[in-house]
Structure 1
Amino acid sequence: MPVCRPGLHAVPLLLGLLLLGLSPVPGGRLPGLGLLAPLTVGLPGREAEKTGVCPQLQADQNCTQECQSDAQCADNLKCCQAGCATICHLPDEKQGSCPHVNTDFPQLGLCQDQCKVDSQCPGLLKCCYNGCGKVSCITPVF
């Protein structure tokens, strides 16, 4: 009986799905790969983003991965990088909230980080995501 093997085009397709964070199989687990965590369905970074920006944290020597997105953190805690670890932490925040950014359309302007925390922004400006995956000092919504 012939053995079924993936064709030449199947491998790049599967890799593309994995890079986009999409699961190529129902249930989100790939057979034969053991104890992999379930794959996130949807595009990375499209989970509910909580207000505020992560403060600059001391490196955690344990490299624990407490979270992968804000949705996995309780209350208003954000999933923040601390060296090689990710932990749920209170955001650094000024009054007001960051304006909603429509990620369906490309954003014009600087596509580089201009700040890390609200305290680096002058006056009432907040350090918010600007639509191209970076943060800038932006006028908040009250």
Structure 2
Amino acid sequence: VSTGVGVGGGHRPLHSATFRRRTVALLLLLALPVEQPSAAPPQKTQKKPGVCPKERLTCDTKAAGSCKTDLDCREFLKCCHFACEKKCIDPYQEPCTLPSDPGNCKDYKQRWYFDFEHEECKSFTFGGCRGNANNFLSHNDCQKACEFTVKRGQCPLFPYNFRMECPSSCKSDIDCPKKEKCCESTCGFVCTKEWSAKLGFCPHKPAMCGKIGKPMCLHDDDCPLEQKCCSRCGLQCLEPKK
């Protein structure tokens, strides 16, 4: 039986081979890279889709807003600076076309909204919260922001088969340069020159069209003399109806 006594009478630790193996295993374990804690989940984005309407007023003072970021607004509404205050706005609608909205609260504040149908600013009582963007502090602010929402003139005819998103679009005429209107096109609503219509009326369209021809014009200016651009089994220049 081994007594653990070595040659020459020197002592050595029992189970030395096992001890060495355990030491090597421990050193290897310590050498392994420490697993990094998982990254914190990304913060919720501060912006929602859509584009805020442009500010149309010169603001000497800014009223206390009802929001700071898009996250303060319900559903798809965005926090936009409009009419000299930050408010939750539908980015897909022209503010001046919306009906008056007193909101949910019980305050009594006189505000002004643009009556799109009659093209004039009218007063209403605002409750102090919610509501919509057609809400102005004064009659003068309402007039400045909305008087050019609809310009005179007619949009040209655009033959199209489908709609797609436009890189730069408009919501109303006020978003366009002075002599242009916000009109429907092959890719949504875009700013374009108004349709200058000649005198007279286009002849009636036939009850049935065997074939829709290639468009030969887009507006009356494309046609010679007194001819008009008419939709008759495709856009073409025709003599006006007598």
Q: TM-score, normalised by structure 1?
A: 0.38
| Greater per-residue strand proportion | 2
Q: TM-score, normalised by structure 2?
A: 0.24
Mark the structure with the bigger radius of gyration: 2
